[in-house]
């Protein structure tokens, strides 16, 4: 402690001695004109610099804000111009396969009631497009003891199986097991397409086709 104190004292007492210049005349103390001018300009420059830095900061901030606003609005636009993103998805509880959605009913009812139920869902009874889709349906209903109505019934006037879209059944795609008689409707049972009385109680499968906005059939 005492050493430090002494040192400080020494420094203090020594300082003026070491730097004590001879008393200056007022003339020599005054800086030259250019020096004072330079100082003023320097000061002004410094203030300008500080101001411009602040200005730049504000500019950058507002630019960033604008950018983020634009980003959000482009996001919104993207969401608006891309409604297919949401409509290209199947509703909850619906199975999705290729560009179709499928719903398997829990309840059992007649073929006509199944038809009406699908209609109420904005769907139709299942129309089996090809073997691949049949396989998907077979797999999806595998292990179920029930039969599931599909959109196919026997029209006695034509003596033919007809899809509910009006097309006649192509037996290369689906083969119906069982008698084809008046009042027969088709169901999927244990992986097979079977003929059953339209008034029996079965569960049923509805389908919905996913709308693709790009499919413009102008040709």
Asked if 168 touches ligand NAG (CB under 6 A), the answer is no
Is the CB of 7 or the CB of 71 nearer to ligand NAG? 71
Kindly tell me the burial class for residue 207, based on how many C-beta atoms sit within 10 Å of its own C-beta (0-12, 13-18, 19 or more): buried
| Among the listed residues 161, 166, 155, 150, the one whose alpha carbon sits nearest the alpha carbon of residue 115 | 150
* Binder of ligand NAG out of 90, 127, 194, 210 (CB under 6 A): 127
Task: Give CA–CA dist 45/51, Å, rounded.
Answer: 10
| Among the listed residues 186, 200, 182, the one whose alpha carbon sits nearest the alpha carbon of residue 109 | 200
Is the CB of 52 or the CB of 160 nearer to ligand NAG? 160
Query: By CB under 6 A, which span of 1-9, 37-45, 60-68, 159-167 interacts with ligand NAG?
Result: 159-167
Asked if 101 touches ligand NAG (CB under 6 A), the answer is no
Asked if 25 touches ligand NAG (CB under 6 A), the answer is no
Asked if 88 touches ligand NAG (CB under 6 A), the answer is no
Task: Give CA–CA dist 123/217, Å, rounded.
Answer: 22
Task: Give CA–CA dist 117/205, Å, rounded.
Answer: 10
**Which of the residues 186 through 215 are near ligand NAG (CB under 6 A)?**
198
Binding positions for ligand NAG, rule: CB under 6 A: 72, 75-76, 79, 85, 111-112, 127-129, 136, 139-140, 153, 163-165, 167, 183, 198
């Amino acid at each position: 402690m005492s050493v430090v104190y002494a040192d400080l004292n020494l420094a203090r007492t020594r300082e003026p001695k070491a730097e004590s210049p001879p008393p200056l005349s007022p003339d020599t103390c005054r800086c030259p004109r250019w020096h004072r001018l330079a100082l003023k300009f320097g000061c002004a420059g410094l203030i300008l610099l500080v101001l411009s830095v602040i200005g730049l900061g504000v500019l950058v901030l507002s630019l960033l804000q604008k950018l983020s606003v634009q980003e959000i609005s482009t996001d919104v636009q993207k969401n608006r111009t891309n409604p297919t993103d949401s409509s290209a998805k199947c509703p909850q509880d619906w199975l999705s396969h290729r560009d179709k959605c499928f719903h398997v009913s829990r309840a059992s009812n007649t073929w006509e009631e199944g038809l009406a139920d699908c209609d109420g869902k904005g769907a139709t009874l299942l129309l089996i497009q090809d073997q691949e889709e049949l396989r998907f349906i077979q797999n999806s209903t595998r292990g179920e003891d029930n039969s599931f109505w599909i959109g196919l019934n026997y029209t006695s006037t034509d003596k033919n199986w007809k899809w509910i879209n009006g097309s006649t059944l192509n037996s290369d795609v689906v083969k119906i097991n069982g008698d084809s008689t008046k009042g027969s409707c088709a169901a999927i049972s244990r992986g097979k397409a079977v003929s059953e009385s339209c008034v029996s109680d079965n569960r049923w499968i509805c389908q919905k086709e996913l709308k693709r906005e790009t499919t413009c059939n102008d040709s």
